Structure 1
Amino acid sequence: MEHLVTSGTFSLDGGTWEVDNNVWLVGDADEVIVIDAAHDDSKIADAIGTRRVVAVVCTHAHNDHINAAPALADRTGAPVLLHLDDRLLWRQTHPDRAPDGYLSHDRRLTVAGTELVVLHTPGHAPGAICLYAPHLGTVFTGDTLFHGGPGATGRSFSDFPTIIRSIRDQLLTLPPDTVVRPGHGSSTTIGAESADLQKWIDRGY
Structure 2
Amino acid sequence: MSRVRARVDHAVTAGTFSLDGQTFQVENNVWVVGDDAECVVIDAPHSVEAILAVAGDRKVKAILCTHAHDDHVRAAPALREAVGAPIFLHPDDKPLWDLTHADDRWDHDLSHDQEIEIGGATLRALHTPGHAPGAICLYAAELGSVFTGDTLFQGGPGATGRSYSDRSILEGSITDRLFTLPLQTVVHAGHGDDTTIGAERTRLMSRRILSRSRRLRGEEATP
Q: Could you state the TM-score of these two structures normalised by the residue count of structure 1?
A: 0.97
Question: How far off its partner does 1:153 sit?
Answer: 0.5
Q: Deviations over 1:152-192 (max 9, x none)?
A: 01100000000000000000000110000000000000011
Question: How far off its partner does 1:87 sit?
Answer: 0.9
The CA distance in 1 between the partners of 2:94 and 2:194, in whole Å, is 28
Structure whose CA Rg is larger? 2
**Paired amino acid for 2:147:** F
Question: How far off its partner does 1:200 sit?
Answer: 6.0
**What's the % identity of the aligned pairs?**
57
Structure 2: any 5+ residue segments left out of the alignment? 1-7, 213-223
What pairs up with 1:51-130 in 2 under 5 angstroms?
51-130=58-137
The CA distance in 1 between the partners of 2:206 and 2:173, in whole Å, is 15
Pairwise CA RMSD: 1.2
Question: How far off its partner does 1:34 sit?
Answer: 0.2
Question: How far off its partner does 1:88 sit?
Answer: 1.1
The match for 2:150 is 143
Q: Which of the numbers 34, 44, 60 marks the counterpart of 1:27? A: 34
Q: Is the 8 A contact 1:168 1:201 kept in 2?
A: no
Q: Is the 8 A contact 1:38 1:67 kept in 2?
A: yes
The CA distance in 2 between the partners of 1:129 and 1:81, in whole Å, is 11
SS of match in other structure, 1:55: strand
SS of match in other structure, 1:135: helix
Q: Is the 8 A contact 2:131 2:164 kept in 1?
A: yes
Structure 1: any 5+ residue segments left out of the alignment? none
Question: How far off its partner does 1:46 sit?
Answer: 2.5
The CA distance in 1 between the partners of 2:47 and 2:126, in whole Å, is 26
The match for 2:49 is 42
Question: How far off its partner does 1:49 sit?
Answer: 2.1
Question: How far off its partner does 1:201 sit?
Answer: 5.8
Residue-pair matches, total:
204
Residue 197 (1) aligns with residue 215 (2): no
Q: Is the 8 A contact 1:172 1:190 kept in 2?
A: yes
The CA distance in 2 between the partners of 1:79 and 1:104, in whole Å, is 15
Q: 4+ runs of 1 displaced by more than 3 Å?
A: 199-204
Question: How far off its partner does 1:45 sit?
Answer: 1.3
Q: Could you state the TM-score of these two structures normalised by the residue count of structure 2?
A: 0.89
The match for 2:218 is none
